[in-house]
Amino acid sequence: MRAIACTLFVLGLLWDSMRAENTISSLRAAAVAWEGELLCRKWDCECAFKRQRGCCCANSELQETEDQIFVRMMDLSMRISQLGDGILEVIGGIRVAFTASMGPTANCFGPFTRNSPIPYDVITLNQGSGYNPTLGIFTAPLSGLYSFSFSVYSKVGVAGERMYYKVQLMRNGEVVASTWEDNREDSEDSSSQTVLLSLQQGGQVYVELVIGRQLCGNVKGLNTFSGSLIYPNLA
């Protein structure tokens, strides 16, 4: 709504300026077409429409109209500049971004008897304080379009041991992306996903490990979760 109001405001100012310019055009046309008696000897249109004070007939009125147009145009220019500065201030002042990873551990994460949010507890960035490391959940501080990425790494301890994981990105309790592995051929594997999501203020996004699966061998913090605001919804 604010964007629409700003647009209508600028259009209103432009309309006022156009009406003032039309007034001068009408006066000029009336002067040229006038066939009655003049208070002075003749219309000096070339003189009357220049910035000279000594011309006869309607020069003073025309000069006043021209000055009004000049003042309005200067005011319009200033207001447009202020509007642009205000928009840049609003957009430029909003910074929401986070990056977190699972801390190195010798034990596997999982398996569990239910889907469990992954606790990315090593935080390297948390602008806007939207990410909660205790819950492993990002809560949108404001509405807008966001980008989210997560990477998954797992390593089995013995050759031939089953690698079995499935990780999924959740938005407000619903699956929006996932990655998985189930084989006995790889001793380690990794994958990643990146998605764009529209969120309302208070919307929640997190990464969870699916029931019965596990992530092992995370000694280098290769399991990560990150997100950032691309642009806010200002309507």
pLDDT, position 25: 64
Per-residue burial over 6-42, b if 16 or more Cβ lie within 10 Å, else e, is beeeeeebeeebeebeeeeeebeeebeeeeeeeeeee
Q: Within a 10 A sphere around the Cβ of 112, how many other Cβ atoms?
A: 14
Q: pLDDT-based confidence at 226, cuts 50/70/90?
A: very high
Q: pLDDT-based confidence at 218, cuts 50/70/90?
A: confident
pTM: predicted TM-score of the whole model, two decimal places: 0.61
CA torsion sign for 146, 201, 93, 126 is: negative
CB 214 within 8 A of CB 152: no
What phi and psi, each to the nearest 5 degrees, are found at residue 9? -60, -45
- Tens digits of residue pLDDT in 13-49: 455 555 555 655 665 666 666 666 555 555 555 554 4
- Tens digits of residue pLDDT in 116-173: 999 899 999 999 999 999 999 999 999 999 999 999 999 887 766 777 889 999 999 9
Torsion region of 29: left, alpha or beta (phi above 0 gives left; psi -120 to 50 gives alpha): alpha
